[in-house]
């Protein structure tokens, strides 16, 4: 193996069944993602806006738009023993979010989706991380709207307790927009 990885053995050459599993699972659940194989490989594309096993809140499109999170999932050569990194592309967290743990973003811009390294054991499905990333998008919008002060500890994938906050956030955004329009017309400040 040379320093530029010419002739390097990729993880999927060592773990062909894992590659086949990931491709089948992602292809079925997240057809908007496309595989790429430079380096250790990964997936890029857009996640569904609400891929969870419960009804989508009616106000969600008003909070996050019509599309879900654009994401890049990058495997490392130690996959599946080391979890892949997921980088949000749209929205892309700024430096302020990368330096404050309440946003669940690492300093390099990847999402912090696991509470510790031991949470990923190499046998779990990468789908779990993609679902968490989709939930991160919703929580990011709730934080940006000022409805929550920090992202939840366990995320919203299987927990509906924050779903009602989507309507609260949309109302707050609308109210803020109404106040701004009033100020621009020369009314109340």
pLDDT-derived band at 53, boundaries 50, 70, 90: very high
At residue 131, φ and ψ (nearest 5 deg) are: -65, -40
pLDDT-derived band at 9, boundaries 50, 70, 90: confident
Does the residue 165 lie in any domain? yes
pLDDT-derived band at 177, boundaries 50, 70, 90: confident
Note the pLDDT tens digit of each residue in 58-84. 999 999 999 999 999 999 999 999 999
DSSP assignment, residue 104? -
Helix ranges (DSSP H) in 51-164: 60-64, 95-98, 126-144
pLDDT-derived band at 189, boundaries 50, 70, 90: very low
Does the residue 83 lie in any domain? yes
Please give the tally of structural domains in the chain: 1
Does the residue 95 lie in any domain? yes
| pLDDT average, residue stretch 172-183 | 73
Q: What is the pTM of this model?
A: 0.89
Note the pLDDT tens digit of each residue in 80-130. 999 999 999 999 999 999 999 999 999 999 999 998 878 899 999 999 999
Does the residue 3 lie in any domain? no
Does the residue 189 lie in any domain? no
State which residues form the domain around 43.
11-184
Note the pLDDT tens digit of each residue in 21-49. 999 999 999 999 999 988 999 999 999 99
Helix (H) or strand (E) holding 44: strand 42-46
Q: How many alpha carbons fall within 13 Å on the CB side of residue 49?
A: 14
Q: How many alpha carbons fall within 13 Å on the CB side of residue 173?
A: 18
Query: Residue 95 belongs to a domain with what CATH number?
Result: 3.10.110
């Amino acid at each position: 193996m040379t320093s530029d990885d010419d002739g390097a053995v990729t993880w999927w050459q060592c773990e062909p069944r894992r590659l086949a599993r990931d491709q089948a699972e992602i292809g079925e659940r997240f057809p908007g993602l496309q595989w790429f194989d430079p380096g250790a490989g990964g997936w890029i594309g857009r996640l569904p806006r609400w891929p969870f096993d419960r009804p989508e809140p009616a106000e969600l499109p008003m909070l996050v738009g019509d599309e879900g999170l654009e994401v890049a999932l990058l495997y490392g050569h130690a996959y599946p023993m080391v979890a892949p990194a997921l980088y949000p592309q749209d929205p892309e967290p700024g430096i302020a979010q990368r330096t404050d743990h309440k946003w669940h973003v690492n300093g390099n811009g990847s999402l912090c989706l696991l509470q510790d390294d031991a949470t990923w054991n190499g046998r779990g499905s990468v789908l779990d991380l993609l679902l968490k990333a989709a939930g991160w998008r919703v929580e990011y919008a709730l934080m940006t709207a000022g409805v929550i002060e920090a992202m939840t500890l366990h995320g919203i994938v299987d927990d509906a307790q924050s779903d009602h906050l989507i309507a609260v956030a949309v109302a707050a955004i609308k109210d803020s927009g109404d106040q701004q329009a009033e100020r621009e017309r020369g009314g109340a400040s």
